[in-house]
Every structure is written in C-alpha cells, then in structure tokens.
Chains A and B, each alone.
Chain A
Amino acid sequence: MEMRERYTPEGMHTGPAGEQTDGVMPFGDLAPNSAGNPLADFEMIGGETFLRGARFASGVPAYPKRPLCPETGHPEQVEELFGPRGTLYSYTIVHVSNTRDVPYAIGYVDFPSSLRVLAIIRIPAGRSLACDGPVVLQSDDECWWVEPDDQA
C-alpha cells in the first residue's frame, strides 16, 4: 500500500504519520507575537524607529512576526525592518472600548513595502490626522506608536 505523503515543510521528517511528532508540536499561537504585546517588537536605529517584522519566501510581509506565511502556510522567512515612515489609510478616536482605557486613537498605516499595520496614534497638540496623511513611527522603552510626520 502506498504511503500517503504528508505535508512536510523543509526540515521536517518524513515517514509514517503515526510515528512522527516532529513539526507537529503546537505553536504558542499562530497569530503574530504570542508573547502578548504586538506593540513591543521594534528597534531604534539612528534615532528612528523601525518595526521588526519578517518577509516570507512568498514575498508576503508580516508584522508582528508569525510562524507561518498567511498565503502559503510555509515557515521560511527572513527578518525585515519596516518604517519609519508610512501613510495613514484611515483612523478613529475610540471613546468606548473593552480593550483599553479611553479615549485613544488607532489607525491603519500602510508602509511602502506593502505592509499594513494597525497602529496606536498619538496626536501632538495642534496637530490633526488625515486619511492618506504621512505618519512616522516613534517609540519609548516599552512600545511604539505613530504620529503625524512633520518632515513629510
């Protein structure tokens, strides 16, 4: 009887499915950044903030990182930094929420490398937000956010 071939991402064993546990142990979470804080994976370079994400072999970008490509299901990826500048696609100021203290602003930011990220927005006094307006990543020791970009 012909053995049924298993889906085997590179590096996994092949063989009878009933004997193999390699590659089938659970991930912490298939969603990105199972550590719990999607606002924590970033780095500062030359005073500018970049998001530390990944690009899969398929070309699909991801932030936060995740174990599998959402297009192909394959794990091959290389780390990639995104930012520091992007475009605010849309936004809102939330006044009722069961996830964070209100009010707060969030919006979708499109980065030039075909990545869209939901971002916390901080609005300095005297500044306002606009769809398709330029935004720039900022950060402190704990998390990142975006602000309207003065230099655009």
Chain B
Amino acid sequence: MLVGRAGRPGMSGAVIIGAGMIPMGRHRNSSYPGLAVPAVSTALSSAGVSPAEVGYVACGHSFGGMLTGQRIVKDLGIGGVPVINVDNACSGGAAALQLASKAVVEGITDVALAIGVDKLSQFGGGTLPLVEEDPEVRSGMVMPALYAMRARRFFYERGEDSATLAEVSVKARRHGAANPFAQYRTPVTSEEVLAARMIADPLTLLMCCPTGDGAAAVVIASQGRWRKTGVRGAHIRASVLHSGKATTGFRHMLRPEITVHSAHEAYEAAGIGPEDIDVIELHDAFSIAELIYYEALGLCPEGDAAALLKAGQTTYGGKVVVNPSGGLISKGHPVGASGVAQAVEVFWHLCGQAGKRQVEGARFGLCHVTGGGISGMDHGACTIHLLETARNRKAR
C-alpha cells in the first residue's frame, strides 16, 4: 500500500503540516482525552488550521476503550466528520496515520488528523497484557521473552554478548537526554545497563522500553491546502502497512520478514534507498530490536548490525541518526501513541524544529513500527512511513 508517491502524475500527495506531542511519562491522573487533547491542539495550531477545517480523523490506540477518537475530538469542536478508531497494537498510531493520509490522497478531505494515544499506567506496571486466548501466551509468552529469544539467537549466530545490547541502550538514553518529551532523560552507562535487574534473560530493565502514557497528533493536508498555509511540511512519500503471515514451522528470528518486505515496498514507492535516509525512528521496544532492524531496513548487510552500531554510524556524525528522540527505550512506548509520536519527531527534524537534538540538513526520514505478539507470526503488523522535507515558498 502506498500513498503520495513522489512524482506520480495526477496524484496529489499528502503533506504533514503540523504536529504535537505531550511529554511521555506516567500521567495517572489523565484520561485518554486529557492525554490527547493537548497534542491535538498543538498540532492544529502549528499547522495554522482551525478544528472546523478537519474533515477526517483517525485515532490509533490499544487500550482506550470504545470511541476513543470521538471522546478526544468532541472537546475541540470537531464533529460531523468520519472518526475512525484503529487498534493495531504498537502499529495503531501509524495505521491511523496511513488512513488519514489516504483520506487526503483520495480527495475525501483537504485536511485530516491522525492521533495516537495510550495509557499503560492503568495496568500498574509489569509486562504488556497480551491476548489470553493466544496459545503461546498461555504457555508463558510475554513481549520481553519474545525479544529475549531474538537476543539469545543473535548472540549465538553473531558471536555478540550483552555488552552490545547495552550499547544500544546507552545511545538511546544519550539521545533522550536532549529530548524534553522523553520519559527518561538521564544518560546511563553500559555498566548500569548490565547491572539492572533482569526482565527476560539476557534483557535487563534498561534494555526494555518503559511502561508509560502519551499522545501525539499530526495534521495532514493536500498539496493545495498546504501551499496556502505558509508553513513548512513533510511530504509523505510512502506509507506501507503489512500484517504478519502465520506459520507453524521454522521462522528466522533475526530476519523479520514483515519489516524486510515493508521496507522494500516503501523504498520502491518513494524512489529512494536506505542510503538516502537522514533520520530514522524505529521500533526499539527492546535493545535487540534496534540491531535486527538495522539489517531489516537495509542500513547494513546482514550480519553487520553490531559493527554499524559500534562504529557510531547510527548516531550524530554517522551515516544516519537512528532514534534521535531516544526511541522507545528512552522516549517511552505508549503502544498506540508511538507510531504518531515517531512521525512527529521526524517531522520536527525535517522542518528544522527539533531544537538541541536536530539532525542538521535532514531531508528524508523514516518511521518504522511493528505491532503485537501473536503465535506463529513475526509480528501482527508493521508500518513504515517515508517522509521528505516539503519546501514551501511561503514558509515562515
């Protein structure tokens, strides 16, 4: 699935023209609307768009209950338009972004709103509640265990150890220290990461994303509407969503095919390759994931992920800055919010609005988020968005 393909004759692409996010954290006293409304208001005002202009709303969440999107936008003067609620586990927000983008590309509206929100503090901590009817969950599967098995296999096949995983966390926390929206904003050392309590061997607490709450929103406009705004924007060059494919047999846990295939489609749709990307927000729910996704996204050949990290090629000064926000490990991972929060972060970098953590000169950005633990599948969902700086002659 693609929308807004660069240069496609007759297709008016979608442009992100405004973005907002709340600081991630444990906001126990906030409702779902309480979390999301500030993000939506910020996104609308940064776009210079009034609520009355919004013709379509897609809201991604996993644990918000019925009509979460309507509960949010009703207090902002948005109503009488399609409001779609999307559950796709961690890909819920990104799937909402795709739906909103399609609404613009297909001419349903000139202005659409994508929201991502979730409140994990309602569960009190511990591992994310999975669907109990799944047979692997009944056998003891939890998300840290799934990634821990990937890590154990990574050690076995690549000759690496926990110190490499710790370096991912150290980088994430260093990046997050410069991000006022991050849940954790203090740097950590490799020794602290390794000494933290064990969650699922070999993953320690500091190799895992935290439990938290958050919300993010982006405003998407047609090319014509964007040109009238005078604001800077980000073209959505590709929007790809895949589901997992079940198997009862062998699955290569270091080669997540759902991400490999999604990335291939996204690059093809945008007409660019991984070497063109300047900034990436990827799904580092656990430190091992970042290494595996370097390869799945084509940032390096299979087998070279650890070397890429250790050479400093995925931080400032390297080939591409991965997770300048601090990623899910540092910024936080309120499941349904994360896909939109990634788009907000990349949008800010492409528009030169990222402040102290700005990736200078960033033109192309990639957002990658997977979703869910289901038996027999690599993941239940994977969403990739490719964004490009949109130059507006009226830009302020």
Q: Is the CB of A61 within 8 A of B137?
A: no
User: Which of A29, A36, A95 has the most CB atoms of chain B within a 10 A radius of its CB?
Assistant: A95
User: For chains A and B in complex, what number of residue pairs have CB atoms within 8 angstroms?
Assistant: 121
**Nearest neighbor of B148 in chain A, beta-carbon distance:** A92
Q: Contact size class for A?
A: 35 or more
Q: Is the CB of A38 within 8 A of B135?
A: yes
With an 8 A cutoff between CB atoms, is A139 at the interface?
no
Q: Is the CB of B253 within 8 A of A90?
A: yes
Q: Is the CB of A92 within 8 A of B127?
A: no
With an 8 A cutoff between CB atoms, is B80 at the interface?
no
Q: Is the CB of B149 within 8 A of A92?
A: yes
CA distance A35 to B16 in the complex (A): 48
Q: Is the CB of B126 within 8 A of A91?
A: no
Q: Which of B174-208 contact A (CB under 8 A)?
A: 197-203
Pick the contact of A116: B126, B129, B152, B249 (CB < 8 A).
B249
Q: Is the CB of A92 within 8 A of B133?
A: no
Pick the contact of A118: B130, B141, B199, B201 (CB < 8 A).
B141
Q: Is the CB of A31 within 8 A of B375?
A: yes
Q: Is the CB of B138 within 8 A of A131?
A: no
Q: What 0/1 pattern do residues 4 to 47 of A give for CB contact below 8 A with B?
A: 00000000000000000000000001011110111100000000
Chain B contacts for A132, CB-based, 8 A: 156
With an 8 A cutoff between CB atoms, is B142 at the interface?
yes
19 contacts between A and B (CB under 8 A): A31-B133, A34-B133, A38-B135, A61-B248, A91-B152, A92-B152, A93-B201, A94-B140, A94-B145, A95-B197, A95-B199, A96-B144, A96-B199, A98-B126, A99-B141, A107-B149, A115-B248, A118-B140, A120-B140
Residues of B within 8 A of A (CB): 126-127, 129-130, 132-142, 144-145, 148-150, 152-153, 156-157, 197-203, 246-251, 253, 375-376
Residues of A within 8 A of B (CB): 29, 31-34, 36-39, 60-64, 70, 89-100, 104, 106-108, 110, 114-116, 118-120, 130-132
For the complex of A and B, list the 4 residue pairs with the smallest distance between their C-beta atoms, beginning with the closest: A92-B148, A131-B156, A90-B149, A38-B135
